A and B are shown apart, each in its own frame.
Chain A
Amino acid sequence: MNLAAQDIRHNLGRFALTAVGIGLLLMIVLGMRGIYRGMIDDALVVVDRIGADLWVVQRGTRGPFAEISRLPANLEHRLRAVPGVASARSFVSHNVQREHIGKPLRMNVHGLAWPEDKGQWVNLIAGRPLARAHYEMIADASLGLALGEKLVLGKDTYTAVGVTKGMVSSGGDGIAFFTVQDAQAIQFDLAGEAIRMERAARVQRAVGQDIGRVQPLLLELGGGLSSGIPALGPPMVSAITVRLAEGSDAGWVADTIAAWPDVSVHTRDGQVQLLVHGMIDKARRQLGLFSTLLVIISTIIMALILYTLTLDKIHDIAMLKLMGARNSMIAGLILQQALLLGALGFGIAWYLGGWIFPKFPRRVLVAPDDLWGLAGVVLIISVLSSLLGIWKAMRVEPNKVLS
C-alpha cells in the first residue's frame, strides 16, 4: 500500500491545485528558457540561411547585427576579384515602422542582391521568389500580409509575392525581403522638399570646393538625381557577404580582405558570437536570473506546501512511529509526494506551455534539452523541498499520539 498515494487521493483537490500552481511556475521557467532560445534562433536565422562564409563590414565596426555599418555597394566588385571568393553580395538590413490599414506595422527590411539573389533560399510557404527588380516583396507570415497584398513604403507600392515563416530579426520583427535597390529606396526615402534642399546644398558645397570649380559639370549633376553622381554619393549597404570557392583557404582570404584599410572582416562564427554574446547577452543574463529566481521561488513554495502537508499529518506520523514504522517509510511518504508534485507540475508546465507558447508575440522555442534540463531541476527541487518536511517528521516522537 502506498501511503503517499492514499494521502493524495484523500486531499486530491488541494494537491491538484498545488500541482497546477507549481506547474504554472515551472511553465514560466520553461518559457524563459524558450524565449532565450527563440531569441538566439531568431537572431541567427538570417546568418544561417544566407550561408555566407565571410561578412565584410565598415572598418572598425562589428557588423550590421551589432551596430551601424555602411559600405559602398561597389565593394562587392572588389571582393569578387580576390582569389578564393566565389561570390559577393550586398547585404542591406534595417527596421521600419509604418502604418498599414490603420495599424502600426514594424518590419525588418532585408535587401536581396538582385538579380543573383531572388530569395530562392527563403523557405516559402506560399507564393514565389522575387521575379522583378522592383516593387515585389517576400513577407514573413508574422507581418500578417497576405499573398498579393499591397504595401505602400515611401513613394512606392510593393506587392507581397511570397510568404515565408519563421524569418524574424534578432529584435523579433518579421523580415520582409526586397531587392537591395528597393530596400535602399525604402531606407533613404526623403520628402520632396528635403530632396530639393539637399540638391541645393550639394551644389553649394561643390561650388566651394576645387572639384566643383575644375569640373563645372558636377554642379549641374549636383542639382539632379543622386544616382547621377556616384562619385559624390555612392549607394551604401550594410555589409557585403562573401562565399568562398570550394577548397579555398578561408583564413588566407579573410586576412587578405582584412588587410584593406577600409573594411573589417568577420567569419560566420564571428558573427554568431557577436550576436549571441553581444547583442542578446544582456537579455540572456536577465532571463537567466529571472529563471533562477523562479526556480528558487518554486522550491520555497513546494517546501512550504510539503511542510504544511507534513504538519497536517504529524499525529498520523506519530501513530505510524508508535506502530513501529521505519524512518524510511515516513521519509518515503513525504519524498514520494514531493516527487509526484514535481512530476505533475512538470507535466502541467509542458502541456500548458505547448498550448500557450505559440500564442506569444515572440518565438518561444522549447528544445528537448530544455525539457530534460527542467526535469532535472524539478527532480532536484522536489528532493530539496521535501527535506524540511522530512526533518520535521523525523523529529516527531511517538508519544505525540497521546496529545
Chain B
Amino acid sequence: MCITANNRSPAIEVFNLTKIYGRGNTEVVAMKDVNLRVAEGEVIALLGPSGAGKSTLLTAMGLINPPTSGRIIIGGMPVLDGPRPLVDLRSFRRHHLGFVFQKANLIPFLNAAQNVQVALEINDVPPRPARHRALELLDYLGVADRANNLPEALSGGQQQRVAVARALANEPELILADEPTAALDSHRGRQVMELFRKVAHERGAGVIVVTHDQRALDVFDRTLEMEDGQLKDGHP
C-alpha cells in the first residue's frame, strides 16, 4: 500500500496522466504526464489559469473523461489504465466518488432532501434509511431547515451545501469539486471551502478543489498549480 507523507492511505493516485484531444494537425495536448497523490482526509486546491488543464485532470480523475494514457488508482484500486477501464466506471463512481460543480446541478424536481436521498437510492440504500441519512447530512451542513424546499427556492450557497451533502451521501473516498464557489460571493464562497475542509478532516475523504479563488487558500492543506497541462511543482 502506498503511504503518503503524513502516513495516511492515498485517496487517489495518478501516474503520468496525459490527455490529447484531436489528431494530427488538430491535436491539442490538454494534460501531460501529471502525477498526483491525495491522501484520505486531505483537502487540496488545484489552481491555474483558464486552459491550464485543471478541469481535464478533474474529469479524468472523476472517470468521466478518460485520459489518453496514464494510470489512476482510487482507494487502492486501479480503475483506469489509459483510456481502458479496469472496473465498471459507473458503479465505481457510485460507490467511491462525489462531485461538486460550479453550478450545484441539483435536480430541479426534487427537494433538497430528495436530491441527497437519490444519490443514496442509486447506491441501493432503501428509501427510509436514505431519507434519514439525507436529513442527517443536511443537518450536518446547516441546511436541514430547507430540506423540503425545491432548489429554485434555495439561495446559491444553500444549493451548494445541498450539492456537498449529495457528494458526501455515499461516504466516498474522494470528492472532486470544480470551481464550486465561482457563483458565490466571497463570504459564502469561503463558507463552502471551509465545509470541504470540515468534510475532509472529519470524514476522512480526500478532497480536490479546482478554484480560481485565491482568497480562501488558507483553508486547504495543500495547493497545487497547473500550467500548460502540467503540475507546476512537478511532483505529487
Contacts and interface: CB of A to CB of B under 8 A. Distances in A.
Interface in B170-210: 178
- Chain B contact-residue range equals 20 to 34
Contacts of B108: 10, 316
B105 A315 contact: yes
B118 A320 contact: yes
A3 B166 CA distance: 16
Nearest to B93: A324
B147 to A, nearest CB: 14
Given A1-B117, A1-B118, A324-B90, A401 B105 contact: yes
A101 interface: no
A316 B123 contact: no
A329 interface: yes
B59 interface: yes
B110 interface: yes
Interface stretch (B19-27, B31-39, B94-102): B94-102
Contacts of B105: 315, 319, 401
Task: With a 10 A CB-CB cut-off, give which of B94, B107, B121, B122 has the most chain A CB atoms.
Answer: B107
Nearest to B94: A324
A7 interface: yes
Interface string A316-339: 100111111110010000000000
Contacts of A402: 55, 59, 101, 178
Contact of B107 (A9, A319, A324, A329): A319
Nearest to B92: A324
A262 interface: no
Nearest to A2: B127
B2 interface: no
A101 B7 CA distance: 105
A329 B127 contact: no
A324 B121 CA distance: 11
Name the residue among B65, B91, B118, B119 with the largest chain A CB count within 10 angstroms: B118
Contacts of B101: 401-402
A6 B109 contact: yes
A397 interface: yes
Nearest to A319: B105
Nearest to A312: B108
B127 A1 contact: yes
Contacts of A204: none
Contacts of B166: 323
A297 to B, nearest CB: 29
Given A6-B109, A6-B110, A319-B107, A399 B65 contact: yes
B114 interface: yes
Interface in B30-65: 55, 59, 62, 64-65
Contacts of A227: none
B144 interface: no
A308 interface: no
A398 interface: yes
Contacts of B118: 1, 3, 320, 323
A273 interface: no
A322 B100 CA distance: 11
Nearest to B90: A324
B114 A6 contact: yes
Interface in B117-158: 117-119, 121-123, 127, 130, 150
A11 interface: yes
Nearest to B104: A319
Nearest to A321: B90
B122 A1 contact: no
Contact of B64 (A6, A7, A329, A397): A397
Given A1-B117, A324-B95, A329-B122, A399 B107 contact: no
A9 B94 contact: no
B169 to A, nearest CB: 9
Given A7-B109, A11-B109, A402-B59, A323 B64 contact: no
A21 to B, nearest CB: 21
Contact of A399 (B64, B91, B94, B127): B64
B122 A398 contact: no
6 contacts: A6-B110, A10-B108, A316-B108, A324-B95, A324-B123, A401-B101
Given A324-B93, A402-B59, A402-B101, 5 more contacts: A1-B118, A315-B105, A321-B90, A322-B93, A324-B122
